Amino acid sequence: MAKWHAMLEYIQFPLKVLFFATILLGIGNSIINPNISYMWDVKNEVVILISEMMRYSGGFLIQIFPLLVFLVILTRKFEDAVPVFIGFVSYVVISLVILFLENNDAPSYFYGNMLGIQISFHADSIFEEVTRIPYNTGILSLIIAYVITMYSYLKSRHYSMHGILSFIDHDAWAMILSVFFSVLAGIVFAFGWPLVITGINYFYSFLAHDLLSPINLFLYGISERVSAIFSLQEIPRSAFWLGELGGSATDNFGIPYLGDVNTWYAYQNLGIVTTNAGHLLTPYYLINIFLIPGFLLGYYSLVDSKRDRKRYFLFFVIAIALSIICGNSLPMEILMLILAPLLYIVYLLIVGLLYAGLQMAGVSIGYWFEGSLMVANPGSLLDLVPFFRNPDMSYSFGMMIGIGLAVMLVFFLLTRTYFKHFSVSLFNLSTRKEITHRVVKALGGFENIRVLTSTPDKLTVELHHRDKVDFDALRAEGAYLILESKDGYLIRLGNLSTVVAKEIKKQMKQLPSV
């Protein structure tokens, strides 16, 4: 579990980039949001250009976030530029092999690439031009490229530079091995991924058969958020938001509209309030405006140091404001998954229940956007603004606020409860007292602890005698980062931090001599 929590240290910089990307995307979308054109209608071409640059830059950074994580992990793992370069080449080779060997008979939303790799060439006839795009494999091809890079680089360190191939050095041999295995991996993906596509199509067809069913919406909600973690979110969004699987409608002129987003837009133009459209987008409002802020408030409430509270206050204010006003839950979902996996599972269940419950309650508030799916950012407060003045939407608004406040309170309490009581037991067989005893012993005993504070992912300890600290014992308990400062030690224990700190303080109160 310590290695899993250590991922947070590895991806800290990419997470900051992702957070910055959501700011760019949110601000860019807010300026030219068509839903609030009656409040401000931007006509200045320079402002429009800057807004488009911001939202597409943000969308692209979000799209390549897994690749940034991939490169940063390789950099931190080896502290050498060679494996980073080899890893990138491995990913490109896998993508290119898939591109040339894949079938082109799957729906278009199963094709895509983080780097936009595609080729155009002449097929059987010189008059027929074909454009090929590799399968959208999300982070799975990156994971394979990472395994290949690790194996090839480590294997090359034992390569004996003798014989007729002595002119090949270790780095070149690592590259040769990586390309060879990447080609094999690309072949496997090219011929194996259609089986995955078949499974996904079967699942989507099952959901689309009765998309108003609470059970189907429950399953859709969970699968859609999981797909975002795997960087595959454009598949369900294309299929259901913009495709026939999400429903259809026809306006007064006989123009057909496909997908939940377009169907909602058609009904709005006809002045019809319905629960048959927008139900795939409605939960986003509760996720961004209530659920994610509930998590952030719960997290911040567990920061028991005044210094840390003051230090983190502005960040949490900005994060909550961005979630409400601009809307994008992905950064917090990734943080939750790494720091608190069990809480993330509970979060997914709540999201699924929101999809089912809102449909059962007859609450439907959709979303419409212009441009690529890459810049779609549903569920912000600004997207709700045009409906404030619509009396036909008053029921949906009232129910949304009531359910949203209840969900926020519940998830706030669940976040606090998880970090205070249940963060130990998921993958750790020891009790909190046993873990606390070993941590205290590694710190030199109760008598050596001067001041102890904590956040949900770290301990800060001021000690009387620093030379009594057993760093190896702390690492054995899951400390993946230990930093020394003038005030003591900052110890990253992951989600154990709050539980351990609480138990140490409890036991210290029972010791009159301390």
Helix boundaries (H) for 380-470 = 381-384, 394-417, 432-442
Higher pLDDT, 388 or 475: 475
What pLDDT sits at residue 52?
86
pLDDT of 252 > 80? The answer is no
Q: Is the dihedral of CA 58, 60, 62, 67 positive or negative?
A: negative
Parallel/antiparallel/unpaired status of strands 129-132 and 248-250: unpaired
Nearest Cα neighbor of 33 from 19, 47, 21 is: 47
For 163-189, write each residue's pLDDT tens digit.
Answer: 555 667 788 888 999 999 999 999 999
341-350 mean pLDDT: 95
For 440-453, write each residue's pLDDT tens digit.
Answer: 898 888 888 888 98
- Distance (Å, whole) CA 104 – CA 298: 47
What pLDDT sits at residue 430?
57
pLDDT of 369 > 60? The answer is yes
What pLDDT sits at residue 7?
75
What pLDDT sits at residue 128?
56
CA neighbours closer than 13 Å in the CB half-sphere of residue 446: 14
Determine the distance from the C-alpha atom of residue 33 to the mean position of all C-alpha atoms in its chain, rounded to a whole number. 24
User: CB–CB of 334/18 below 8 Å?
Assistant: yes
What pLDDT sits at residue 300?
94
Higher pLDDT, 479 or 1: 479
For 462-481, write each residue's pLDDT tens digit.
Answer: 888 888 888 888 888 878 88
The one-letter amino acid at 428: N
End-to-end Cα, the chain, rounded Å: 32
- Left, alpha or beta for 247 (phi > 0: left; psi -120 to 50: alpha)? left
- Binned at pLDDT 50, 70 and 90, residue 354 comes out as very high
Average pLDDT over the chain, rounded to whole? 85
What pLDDT sits at residue 514?
44
* Sheet containing strand 458-463, strands side by side: 449-455, 458-463, 488-492, 481-485
What pLDDT sits at residue 513?
54
What pLDDT sits at residue 39?
64
Q: Does domain 432-509 have CATH number 3.30.1360.60?
A: yes
For 10-48, write each residue's pLDDT tens digit.
Answer: 888 898 899 999 989 888 887 877 666 656 667 788 888
For 300-335, write each residue's pLDDT tens digit.
Answer: 999 988 888 998 899 899 999 989 988 888 999 999
The highest-confidence range among 87-91, 120-124, 151-155, 387-391, by mean pLDDT, is 87-91
Domains in the chain: boundaries:
66-196, 267-422, 432-509
Percent of the chain with pLDDT over 70: 90
Determine the distance from the C-alpha atom of residue 416 to the mean position of all C-alpha atoms in its chain, rounded to a whole number. 21
DSSP state of 135: B
